[in-house]
Structure 1
Amino acid sequence: MCPPVPADRVVRVLLVDDEAMVCAYLRTILTTAADIEVVGTAADGAAAFDAVTRLRPQVVLMDLRMPGTDGLVATERITALPEPPAVVALTTFDTDEYVTRALRAGAAGFLLKSTPPEDLIGLVRVAADGHTVLSAAATRRLLAASAAPAAPPEPVARLVAELTDREREVLGCLGAGLSNAAIAARLYLSEATVKGYVSRLLVKLACRNRTQAGLLARDAGLTS
């Protein structure tokens, strides 16, 4: 028999979907992992916000299209909390406009509802560790679908103008959906150096995660 997982290493997950069968399916998969606990479910965005404040999950799997308060509004409210959980959007199509809007609202990434069960547990762990749950290919598709304005909005232009040349290069790479390893190879830097640049960029640009920074890069015209 495997020893129990220490409580402080168990990932607490909240499931949000207006279809009870979806929540039941996700719960069945996730509870097969000893280090994941489904702490609750919610059927709309308002209930999700209340559940987050009560249950303090580390990861929220959030359906976007729900009656009443939808997942977009809930994501924005939850990620604005002082110590927010990682909100991962649940979607059927990865090019859905709702996905881009959720990422702009602060979601840490998205999962397709067709994600294989064997992958779901690992991706929840990735989100709990503070990483973006989004493939590079999916990032590029989303950014391509989110056309940049002809001229960047003034607040975006002002933020980017305050960056160094190297920081703008790194930001452009984030806009292209590149991983730290790929950015390091493109710019001839170490991965540790890239990680430092990304961390500083998130602070300077007031972005919650690298995907938000990538969307800002698109707005600023730093990606082609």
Structure 2
Amino acid sequence: MAIRIIRKATVRKLPETLADVADLLAKDGTLPGNRRRDLISSITSTARLTARQSSDIPADVSVLRDLFKTLHPAQGRISSKRLSNIRADLAAALQHTGVIPVPDPDTKPSMAWRKFLDHAPAKHQSWFLSRFVRFCSLRQIEPANVTDAVVRDFRTWLDARILTNDPKKVVKDTAVAFNAIIKRAGLDIPLLATTLSSRHLARRLDTYPASLGRHRALLETPA
């Protein structure tokens, strides 16, 4: 009788704090030494700029995005470029350790989207829509099929990935640009709501270690 051996898949637990992220990076032999040091340095720098321990900072994109909104280069006596580099390296560290999902495959706009963008009265409208167009094209959603529900999905997608721009503002600019093209070209496509729910997906506070219970108060404390 043949014996079938079933191995359980190993599920790696996502890091809960930036200290956990740093530990994973330190043990990761796939990263070149210089790159590993840069990514760990971004965590050290973030902790220094916020005057707290990396073990007290949640590895959560929405929390970190709000945290960076409170930071100014002058606080840490660094340049704006240095602060941007810290944020970019931190995003890379989060992506490498699984906190931020891997990037979507590079997808060219479909023919329908290219024709839609040809109606844009200004370049900035096409620019505002570029990320949304790639998001939709990958999922085979054409302009005529875009709804407020699709935009909400896009908001959720952004919430999980970006540390820079406010997803709420990105979504609003996207809807405004999308509507402007429809109006200018007289297209038979429903307009989008330009003000959607401000809800976004973030981990509940009770899913964090007890030691992180005070992070909200720290975020709300004036600099």
How does the TM-score come out when normalised to structure 2?
0.31
> Between Structure 1 and Structure 2, which shows a larger proportion of helix residues?
2
> Between Structure 1 and Structure 2, which shows a larger proportion of strand residues?
1
Rg comparison, structure with higher value: 2
